[in-house]
Structure 1
Amino acid sequence: MRHVFEVSTGFGLCGVAAIVEHLDLGAVEDRVLLVANTVLAFEAAPPVHELPEYAPLLALFGRVVHLNDLIAPEHPHGWSPVPGSHHARLATAQLHAACGIDPDEEHVLWVESIQGAASASLTRLFERARIAVYADGLMTYGPTRIGVPDLVGDRIDAVVHLDLVPGLQPFVLREFHPEYRSFPIDGFLDVLRSVGGVDAPPVDGPVSVVVGQYLADLGLLTQEEDAALLSRMIAVALEQAPDRPVLVRAHPKAAAHATAAVVASFTSQGRDVRLLPTRGLVETLFAELDVALVVSCFSTALFTARAMGVPTVAVGARAVLRRLRPYQNSNRMAIVLADLLHLSVPLEAGPAQRPTTDPALIELIAAVTALSMQPGSLEGMLGVHDAAVLALPPDRYALLRRYVSQERLLRLFPGLPAPRRSVAARMRGRAARVPVLRGAWRAARRARTALAGPGR
């Protein structure tokens, strides 16, 4: 049985290495590493198999195939041969030959995200392969965000995921009923320790690490809001331990000048805040240094740090959740879990929320969040959690409402009592049905806004 592993990142390659070490996946010569360099300017960024820190992991595979070289001049993001076309048949033959797959040989295609453009194309082109989906970080816990053809979905046998939230089963591809298997985070951390990565700075004693993200580039925040979020993260790290150095690790895709400007604003005040290089996996720092705190918004690094026993703080997760569009955005589940499972600090001033530790409540909130995102593909879950939601005491129902709006909950759980509308809401509803009153209401609202002034 030949196993073809598609990877695009160092995190993915470390995950595959941990899976190979944990599961019985045949001899080395039967394993193929299929590397897809999916960054937009891939000519300027070496693929993961050419990075020296990951060289030891290549020994786990009998051959390495670079997808970009195979399909040049096309880019993996836009490469999507039409099924049944001459182009698709040629691509399939080319892939089989490059991976050493004989015409009648059984094989398994492992993809790191069924929802990525390159992965989706590969699952269609490897038309005889059984399919396994491996850890896509926190997005694995959310529902499938795209429609997966039955010809692909019916060949998906397993979802093998990193156990970032112990006890919680992923919702991705639930509509195809695959086997869900987790691989232990300890094995993943062992792989991380075996590779190089971030250059650890010369520091004595404990440090705090701030892990930035690239939310402006994803269109979730403006550049100014993204900078404000990073600034808030650093400020929280300094508040938690004023005398501890703060190491800032920006996301490799974030604008370098913007991150440097935020760090410079703190160093100019005499604070010990240092900017780290973006090469390698930030998790390697957790083993090399005495990391006493990790601060981020909803990075996977929060969960790996938590698994290692490092205190964590999620900053601004709820503010980002409110701006997330469309509602089915795959980051939604990651943000909910980050806010729910870590000490959660608001983007602006306000009280922190302590981590939720009740496994049943965590599972219920995750299930309702997934169902609210994709009620069509998860229709088999409709009615399953009604009794549990209806039985929630007020404080726990308020926590659920933090992540799923009352309107969506009423649609999912018809047995919920409808909230009593305020007098103002009833007046607005009546005014909306009468043209004269509707105009007067809007004029009054404009007048109030004008009187309040720009500082409102």
Structure 2
Amino acid sequence: MTQLFYASTLFGAMTLAAAIDEGRFGPRDGRRILIVSNNAAIPEITPSLDETPGFAALRPRFDEVRSWNEIVAPLHPSDWKARVIEVPMLGRLLRAYLSLDERPSELVVESIAVPPARTLAGLVKDCPISVYSDGLMSYGPTRDPLPAEISGRIGRLLHLDLVPGLTPLLLSEYGVPAETVPDRAFLDVLGTVGVDAGGLPAGQPMILGQYLSALDIVTPEEEAELHAGMLRGLAARGFGAALFKPHPAAGRRHAQQLRETAHELGVELTVVAETVPAESCFAALRPALVVGCFSTALVTARRYFDLPVATVGGELVLDRLTPYENSNRIPATITDATLPRLSADGSLEDPPPVDLAALVGAVGYCMQSQVYPRLRETAAAYVDGHGPARYFKRQRLAALELPGTPAGAASAREVSPLGRLRRRLSRALS
């Protein structure tokens, strides 16, 4: 039998490798094919997963590695999906391309709600699906509804225990159970990846870049200012040198802009190659402080390497994320609510104490209220006790008739399902 795996990031591939090593996919008694996809804005100039140095250690777990970009070229893998009328034909062509004489025994994907994973799931039919998480997004709602033909085949969600005590919301509306991949298995995989970071200075603070402007969360100028603010905060704390780890999909512009700020501040800036995993730097270099916006790497630095971390720009990002149900909202909420915040004057401020499970449940309900009605009471209680600031939009609270708005005040007096139905009928007939 053949098992099909899909991955687009090295972090995701390491998570997948840890699950394989833990025996979560059974004994290796057939072919294992890994389909890799480069989802960068301009994949032609960005190294693919299988071209990064760290992938060499993961490669032996698979019999074959195929490129989804080559299969769908010249179309972009994040944009292309088969039309309904084309699915039977393209499904047969994909099976022929992969030399599949029979249906796979299992399809294993990340980010099931969007292409390329959703496209693959629609083309590779009649087999069970396992979903694995590549970061903090697993704690948030499923981004888009899934057709029954796909959701009914999903048997489990595999995820790292990035936030102990917090249960993933992803796919829970379909009754999909979440399985934790042990920390030790992930750290063992990371140890084998062992990308050489020996030429980089140890003990310096590290700035983690993202690609927020490419996602239209902030403007390019605002993203450059976020990075500059991180460097100013480090300089104010007395650091005369720092590392910058650009996001693999961000290109070189961020590093060029930050070098200019470093020159103005008199800080020596070393740019880490985009192919070197942040986790390898954490293990080999032990940064004095890891600073970022809402990257999952902030959590892995603290969770797995016991490094001090700090965030910058969380409030800006939370305000700019549109629509409200943007899937980056939960990662931004978790990091902003739990990690220290670095100011331009160099000070570190711990966030207020928070019931994280209640906050994530409340935000998750506001993002996808129709999917998670069971979280309404959690959301109402949290907003009533803590107010709408920072994590909630008043317009969204008003639309959902939650506390903190005039409509919410009225709904607080009548919260039963029958009462809500009466109000909706009243408005419809008025």
Relative to the length of structure 2, the TM-score reads 0.85
When residues 44 and 246 of structure 1 are mapped into structure 2, their CA distance, relative to the original with a 3 A threshold, is: closer
Shift of 1:134: 0.6
When residues 329 and 279 of structure 1 are mapped into structure 2, their CA distance, relative to the original with a 3 A threshold, is: same
After superposition, what is the alpha-carbon deviation per residue over 1:142-165, rounded to whole angstroms, capped at 9, x for unaligned?
111212112211111111112111
Q: Does 1:235 align with 2:232?
A: yes
Task: Pick from 324, 327, 330 the counterpart of residue 327 of structure 2.
Answer: 330
Task: Pick from 210, 213, 217 the counterpart of residue 214 of structure 2.
Answer: 217
* Separation of aligned partners in 2, 1:211 and 1:116: 25
SS at 1:371's partner residue?
A: helix
Q: What is the aligned partner in structure 1 of residue 80 from structure 2?
A: 79
Letter in 1 for 2:154: I
How many residues get paired? 407
* Separation of aligned partners in 1, 2:108 and 2:396: 35
Letter in 2 for 1:20: I
Shift of 1:217: 1.7
Shift of 1:406: 4.7
Do the aligned partners of 2:358 and 2:378 also contact (CA within 8 Å) in 1?
no
Do the aligned partners of 1:209 and 1:293 also contact (CA within 8 Å) in 2?
yes
Q: Does 1:123 align with 2:111?
A: no
* Separation of aligned partners in 2, 1:403 and 1:7: 31
| Greater Cα offset, 123-132 or 412-421 | 412-421
Do the aligned partners of 1:208 and 1:244 also contact (CA within 8 Å) in 2?
no
* Separation of aligned partners in 1, 2:7 and 2:408: 52
| Greater Cα offset, 72-81 or 324-333 | 72-81
Do the aligned partners of 1:209 and 1:246 also contact (CA within 8 Å) in 2?
yes
* Separation of aligned partners in 2, 1:227 and 1:216: 9
Q: What is the aligned partner in structure 2 of residue 10 from structure 1?
A: 10
Q: What is the aligned partner in structure 2 of residue 378 from structure 1?
A: 372
Q: How many percent identity over aligned positions? A: 32
When residues 319 and 202 of structure 1 are mapped into structure 2, their CA distance, relative to the original with a 3 A threshold, is: closer
* Separation of aligned partners in 1, 2:247 and 2:152: 36
Shift of 1:223: 1.9
Task: Pick from 179, 186, 189 the counterpart of residue 187 of structure 2.
Answer: 189
Relative to the length of structure 1, the TM-score reads 0.81
Task: Pick from 258, 268, 273 the counterpart of residue 272 of structure 1.
Answer: 268
When residues 232 and 45 of structure 1 are mapped into structure 2, their CA distance, relative to the original with a 3 A threshold, is: closer
Do the aligned partners of 2:159 and 2:180 also contact (CA within 8 Å) in 1?
yes
SS at 2:215's partner residue?
A: coil
Shift of 1:62: 2.5
Letter in 2 for 1:368: A
Shift of 1:55: 1.5
Do the aligned partners of 2:143 and 2:325 also contact (CA within 8 Å) in 1?
yes
* Bigger Rg over Cα: 1
* Separation of aligned partners in 2, 1:261 and 1:417: 42
Letter in 2 for 1:281: P
After superposition, what is the alpha-carbon deviation per residue over 1:328-385, rounded to whole angstroms, capped at 9, x for unaligned?
1111111111101100246x77985414665xx1000000000001101212333355
SS at 1:236's partner residue?
A: helix
Do the aligned partners of 1:77 and 1:118 also contact (CA within 8 Å) in 2?
yes
Task: Pick from 290, 296, 300 the counterpart of residue 300 of structure 1.
Answer: 296
Q: What is the aligned partner in structure 2 of residue 401 from structure 1?
A: 389
* Separation of aligned partners in 1, 2:408 and 2:87: 57
After superposition, what is the alpha-carbon deviation per residue over 1:112-171, rounded to whole angstroms, capped at 9, x for unaligned?
101231111111111212111111311111111212112211111111112111111111
When residues 295 and 89 of structure 1 are mapped into structure 2, their CA distance, relative to the original with a 3 A threshold, is: same
Q: What is the aligned partner in structure 2 of residue 442 from structure 1?
A: none
SS at 1:143's partner residue?
A: coil
Shift of 1:197: 3.7
Q: Which runs of 5+ in 1 are unaligned?
A: 422-456
Q: Please list, as runs of the form range in 1=range in 2, the aligned pairs for 1:129-278 lying within 5 A after superposition.
A: 129-197=127-195, 199-203=197-201, 206-240=203-237, 242-243=238-239, 245-278=241-274
When residues 169 and 48 of structure 1 are mapped into structure 2, their CA distance, relative to the original with a 3 A threshold, is: same
Q: Please list, as runs of the form range in 1=range in 2, the aligned pairs for 1:340-379 lying within 5 A after superposition.
A: 340-345=337-342, 353-355=349-351, 361-379=355-373
* Separation of aligned partners in 2, 1:282 and 1:388: 35
SS at 1:339's partner residue?
A: helix
In angstroms, what is the RMSD of aligned CA positions?
2.8
Q: What is the aligned partner in structure 2 of residue 431 from structure 1?
A: none
When residues 106 and 272 of structure 1 are mapped into structure 2, their CA distance, relative to the original with a 3 A threshold, is: closer
* Separation of aligned partners in 1, 2:10 and 2:17: 10
Shift of 1:193: 2.4
Which structure has more RCO (C-alpha within 8 Å, separation ≥ 6)? Answer: 2
Letter in 2 for 1:61: F
When residues 88 and 338 of structure 1 are mapped into structure 2, their CA distance, relative to the original with a 3 A threshold, is: same
SS at 2:116's partner residue?
A: helix
* Separation of aligned partners in 1, 2:98 and 2:185: 27
* Separation of aligned partners in 2, 1:151 and 1:370: 25
After superposition, what is the alpha-carbon deviation per residue over 1:250-304, rounded to whole angstroms, capped at 9, x for unaligned?
2233352343232233234422332222222111100111312100010111001
Do the aligned partners of 1:199 and 1:277 also contact (CA within 8 Å) in 2?
no
Q: Which runs of 5+ in 2 are unaligned?
A: 410-430
* Separation of aligned partners in 1, 2:408 and 2:345: 30
Shift of 1:95: 2.8
* Separation of aligned partners in 1, 2:405 and 2:321: 27
Letter in 2 for 1:239: A
When residues 418 and 90 of structure 1 are mapped into structure 2, their CA distance, relative to the original with a 3 A threshold, is: closer
* Separation of aligned partners in 2, 1:367 and 1:375: 10
